[in-house]
Amino acid sequence: MTRIGVLRAGYAALAVAFLAAVGTFAAGNLLFVELLAALVAAILLAASGEDLPKWTGWALLVYFLLTILSFFAATPITIDKGGGFFVNGKPAAFLVNVQSYLLQAFGVTLAGATLAASWERERGARNLAAASLAGFVLFAILSYTLKPSTGADAGVAVQQGGFIQILAALAALAGLASAAWCAARPDEFA
């Protein structure tokens, strides 16, 4: 496969990851598809010969490695070592928080990777990726700051949750458009 073909496939995999994100926010849980497509995109972008997409792919691979390590560090496990047991019965609370924050930052990470990978492309693709990143950052901020008070009306909480899901879906649509644009014209430079 040529350098342009690998780059095009990497951008297309990013677009599939964003499409799965839109599906997750709109209809149901497609998180596994989203993660798998992002992993494929990371591998393809890392294998491309282009500077920014290559390092973007490596950054995504490091993110996945950190997420996997945090999962194993935050999960109670027992491993038979053949002469004794390794027991991680009560993981430290901060490790559980690190894992949670890494998983919550996936949208921001994916949008940031798309922005970095599309930096040398047309201005429209960059602007869409920047809009996606801004939307996911706002989504992350609102997810942690919009907490209903103890006596708050359940309707207010549902309305706030619906608002931030729409925001995340719009951010994912902007990322989808940016990645699809780059996949359609991977060899064009601004």
Q: What is the mean pLDDT of each run of 10 residues along the chain (190 residues)?
A: 82 91 79 87 88 88 87 71 64 68 83 88 89 92 76 70 86 93 69
Domain boundaries in the chain? 3-184
At residue 90, the pLDDT reads 67
Q: Write out the E strands in 27-108.
A: 77-80, 85-88
At residue 190, the pLDDT reads 37
In this structure, the strands spanning 77-80 and 85-88 are antiparallel
At residue 189, the pLDDT reads 47
**Helix segments in the chain, DSSP class H:** 3-26, 31-47, 51-74, 93-104, 106-117, 123-145, 154-184
pTM for this model (two decimals): 0.80
How far is 22 from 70, CA to CA, in rounded Å?
A: 26
At residue 73, the pLDDT reads 75
